[in-house]
Amino acid sequence: MDEAELLRQAQRGDLDAFNSVVLAHQTRAYNVALRVLGDGAAAADATQEAFISAYRSLRSYRGGSFRAWLLRIVTNACYDELRRRKRRPATSLEDLAPETEDGEPEVEAWLATQADGPERLSERTELVAAIQDCLDRLPDEFRVVAVLADVQGCGYDEVAQAIGKPLGTVKSRLARARARLRDCLQRHGELLPAAFRLQGEVPS
Amino acid sequence: MTRLSRLPPRDLEALSAYADGRLPPAEAQALEARLKREAELRAALDQIRTTASLLRDLPSVRPPRSFVLTPEMAGMRRRRMGYPALQLATAMATLGFIVTLGIDLFSFSAAPSALRVAAPAEERLLEAPAEQALPLGDAAAAGVPEAGAAMQAATPLEGAEMQMDALQATPSPAPTATPAPAATDSAYRAAPAPESGSPTPAPSIEGAAPMVESTAPPAAAESGVSTAPGCEACGGEQPLPPETPSEKSAGEPAAPTAEAVTEPGDALAGKGEAPTPAANAIEAPPPLEPAATVPPAGLPWLRWLEIALAGAVLLLAGLTLRARAKSR
């Protein structure tokens, strides 16, 4: 059964049909939240919130790209969490510390094991941690665009739909997010691929 | 070493869009011409491409659990929407409690004066409870005249209702069926009349004096003194009717007020005078004990409404706080 038909059934209140759609989209949704929030537990909560609110507001979905429609809800759930953190900065910092240092890389390490040998593993884990660290340092709205466009590979139009902003905003935010990320990653030089490091040494 | 952030924003945007193949053809041509000439621009483009590819290569993390919705989750929004609804319900219940309390307190000050005109036979019996109830109705314990004035504010209909309460609340030792309707009828006329609304404690003392040998515990009389400066004339020998009404009157008003003490501050905020009688009720706990011995069947419906509302406020406030704690 195709997604459009499942969505029609879900709109009529068929929870099982909706859950089929959830299964198809949950990894992407979770990864968007994970990269935006930089915290596995918060990302899981935001993803769950997003699917609940997607189910509840399914009537407002009127065709078009369901992925973009869903990404907008996921993005909003992330913004909610980010706002909550700003209201309670002390606790959120505590929550963050063990998650980024211990929890999350472990998950990624588990994933990486399958592809890489053990000596490549720690390097790779460190690189992932460095990228996430640089993502975390971006302003929220830049990070969201960078995650959607570069991490998830969404097109400009899809990103524009997901963040509810015009195309021009997407372009300029993405450009500035990339520039900041690049400058931040430069500080983690030894972790980066050799080619990336060399390109930094431009005679000027 | 170049820093991408230092590039002119226009160049940066153009390079970024160009890297994604999203630069309009004319602009792309112009940029390509510049790229051939400017090494720094070329380096910047490479950096942008590498950065984007680093992000793209971030491993996809497997979700820690499935986000499939359970039927409870599908209905969960009701719970989240329940928070504002709970807030509103709490506010309404608090308001209802305050209004009911206000009506009840007015009824205690309104009842005796109307009865005095309407049913003199009942007067002496009602006097003692009414006098003792007054301080609860008026924190300043300014006395009966003020309470009478307050009664004027009440509509005749309210006055009649309150009177019915007062009559129900006080078991009549002389079971004559006629006084009750007479009193209700007269309440329509008596309530607005100023003179009826300004009785002094004096007649009550005189009227009740013959009944000095009362069976009521002295604690009840003490509470009457401690809570009613206006009744100081009564002294420790405040006359009490032989029947239990005096006990009841001392205990009953204390019961709802004691409820009020347990309420959150905002419940009382609107009612400036409330805290004082409440404090009085705490200062004189003995009257509460006899109240417990009085069968609850004697409580008028207004009391029950107050107690029910107070309970509802507490329950709703608790639920609201829990909902808020959960939603955070």
B302-316 mean pLDDT: 89
- CATH number, residue A119: 1.10.1740.10
Nearest one of B68, B78, B86, B135 to B325, comparing CA atoms: B86
> Looking at the predicted structure, is the pLDDT value of residue B249 above 70?
no
Amino acid at residue number B285: P
Q: In whole numbers, what is the pLDDT of chain B averaged over residues? A: 61
- Residue A38 Rama label (left phi>0; alpha psi -120 to 50; beta): left
pLDDT the model gives residue A182: 92
Would B13 be classed as within a structural domain?
A: yes
Asked if B48's CB is within 8 angstroms of A150's CB, the reply is no
Are residues B290 and B154 located together in one domain of the fold? yes
Task: Please state, in angstroms and rounded to a whole number, the distance separating the CA atoms of residues A158 and B158.
Answer: 66
Q: Is the pLDDT of residue B174 over 60?
A: no
Chain A nearest-CA distance from B13, in A, is: 5
Distance CA A159, CA B190 (A): 76
Quick check: A64 pLDDT over 50? Answer: yes
* Chain B residues inside the 8 Å CB shell of A31: 60-61
Q: Touching check for B81 and chain A: CB below 8 Å?
A: no
Q: What domain range is B232 assigned to?
A: 86-208+217-327
Helix (H, G, I), strand (E, B) or coil at B272: coil
**pLDDT of B214 strictly over 80:** no
**Is any Cβ of chain A less than 8 angstroms from the Cβ of B51?**
yes
Chain B environment of A153 (Cβ under 8 Å) = 56
> Distance of alpha carbon B310 from its chain centroid, rounded?
7
B32 and B141 share one domain: no
Rounded CA gap, A163 and A171, in Å? 12
Confidence band, pLDDT 50/70/90 cuts, at residue B76 = low
Q: How far is B266 from chain A (nearest CA, A)?
A: 25
Residues B268 and B138 in one domain: yes
Best mutation target among A148, A156, A198, A202 (most B Cβ atoms within 10 Å) is A202
Q: Please indicate, yes or no, whether residues B18 and B131 belong to a single structural domain of this protein.
A: no
Whether residue B251 is predicted with pLDDT greater than 70 in this model: the reply is no
pLDDT at residue B141 tops 60: no
Q: How many domains does chain B have?
A: 2
User: What is the span of the domain harbouring residue A21?
Assistant: 3-200
pLDDT of residue B186: 41
Among A48-57, B76-85, B207-216, name the most confident range.
A48-57
pLDDT at residue A8 tops 60: yes
Q: Are residues B12 and B136 in the same domain?
A: no
Q: Using a pLDDT cut of 70, give the percent of chain A over it.
A: 76
Q: Of B1, B40, B64, which is closest to A201 when you measure between CB atoms?
A: B1
pLDDT at B321 over 50: yes
Is B161 found in the same domain as B16? no
The residue with greater pLDDT, B236 or A153, is A153
Of the candidates B88, B89, B84, B79, the residue with the CA atom closest to the CA atom of residue B309? B89
Number of domains in chain A: 1
Contact B58 A29 (CB under 8 A): no
Residue A146 exposed, middle or buried by CB count within 10 Å (0-12, 13-18, 19+): buried
- Domain membership of residue B38 (yes or no) is yes
Q: For a pLDDT cut of 90, what percent of chain B falls above it?
A: 22
From A34, A150, A204, residue closest to B56, measured CB to CB: A150
Q: Between residues B158 and A191, which one has the greater pLDDT?
A: A191
**3-state SS assignment for residue B119:** coil
Q: Which of A56, A131, A141 is nearest to B73 (CA)?
A: A56
Distance CA A3, CA A38 (A): 30
pLDDT digits over A114-139, tens only?
A: 455 555 667 778 889 999 999 999 99
Of B162, B37, B54, whose CA–CA distance to A188 is shortest?
Answer: B54
Instruction: Please list every residue in chain B whose beta carbon sits closer than 8 Å to the beta carbon of residue A30.
Output: 61, 63, 67
**So what's the ipTM on this one?**
0.81
The amino acid present at B303, given as its one-letter code, is R
Q: Is B292 or B49 the better-scoring residue by pLDDT?
A: B49
* Residue B237 sits at the chain A interface (C-beta within 8 Å): no
- Same domain, yes or no: B152 and B39: no
The answer to whether residue B72 sits within a structural domain is no
Question: Which residues of chain B are within 8 Å of residue A131 when distances are taken between CB atoms?
Answer: 54-55, 58
Is residue B16 less than 8 Å (CB to CB) from chain A?
yes
Say yes or no: B154 and B232 in one domain. Answer: yes
What lies within 8 Å, CB to CB, of B55 at 6+ separation is: A131, A146, A147, A150, A151, A181
> At residue A72, what is the residue type?
R
Task: Say whether both B202 and B110 belong to one domain.
Answer: yes
- DSSP assigned state of B204: H
Rounded-to-integer distance, Cα B228 and Cα B205, Å: 14
Q: With 50 as the cut, is the pLDDT of residue A9 above it?
A: yes
| Average pLDDT over every residue of A76-95 | 77
CB A73 within 8 A of CB A25: no
The full DSSP string for A139-192 is: -HHHHHHHIIIIIS---HHHHHHHHT--HHHHHHHHHHHHHHHHHHHHTTGGGS
High-pLDDT (> 90) share of chain A, %: 63
